[in-house]
Amino acid sequence: MRAYPDTSFLCTLYRLQANSPLAAAYFAAMPGALEVTTLLLYEFRQAVRFQIRLQRHDPTKGYSQAEGTKMLADLKSDLISGAVTTIPAPWPQIHLAAERLSELYTDASGHRSMDILHVATAIELGVKVFLTFDGNQKKLAEAEGLIVPV
């Protein structure tokens, strides 16, 4: 079954965290490539770069330069090998779906724009499984009938 990840899943996959073994096991067991969009790749890369900057200004926060560079290199390696693949996305339909989700859920649950866009992307791609370690985003995905197995 196809699955679509969010940034929390990618961060957990490419940086050692409490849920990393779960993310790695799911990734390893997938029958095909992990499908991502250019927007998800941008958000992940931007988040890593921001965390590197954050640590440079406050050593108690963020990711080290070495750790962030490794995360980006590991993702690049997986893209080159085909373990992760970029798929086209119908952005006008995704934006309409995101607007619907925003109207339905943001006031009650406080969802962020990118989280809504990732769930809307999964919906518009016809994916049934959504991969996230973000509790609030999980609630949104499940409210829309997506399965969140991790």
pLDDT digits 0-9 by tens, 37-87: 999 999 999 999 999 999 999 999 999 999 999 999 999 999 999 999 999
DSSP for residue 33: P
State the pTM of this model: 0.93
Name 42's Cβ contacts closer than 8 Å, sequence gap at least 6.
none
Q: Does CATH place domain 3-87+126-143 in 3.40.50? A: yes
What is the DSSP secondary-structure string of 82-135?
TSEEE----HHHHHHHHHHHIIIIIHHH---HHHHHHHHHHHHHT--EEE---H
Residue ranges covered by each domain of the chain: 3-87+126-143
Name 27's Cβ contacts closer than 8 Å, sequence gap at least 6.
13, 34, 83
Q: Are 104 and 98 in contact (CB under 8 A)?
A: no
pLDDT in tens, 96-105: 999 999 999 9
CA pair distance 137, 140, nearest whole angstrom: 5
CA 2 to chain centre: 14
Q: What's the pLDDT at 1?
A: 62
Q: Are 34 and 85 in contact (CB under 8 A)?
A: yes
Residue at 124: amino acid letter: E
**Mean pLDDT, the chain, as a whole number?**
96
Determine the straight-line distance between the first and last CA of the chain, rounded to whole angstroms. 14
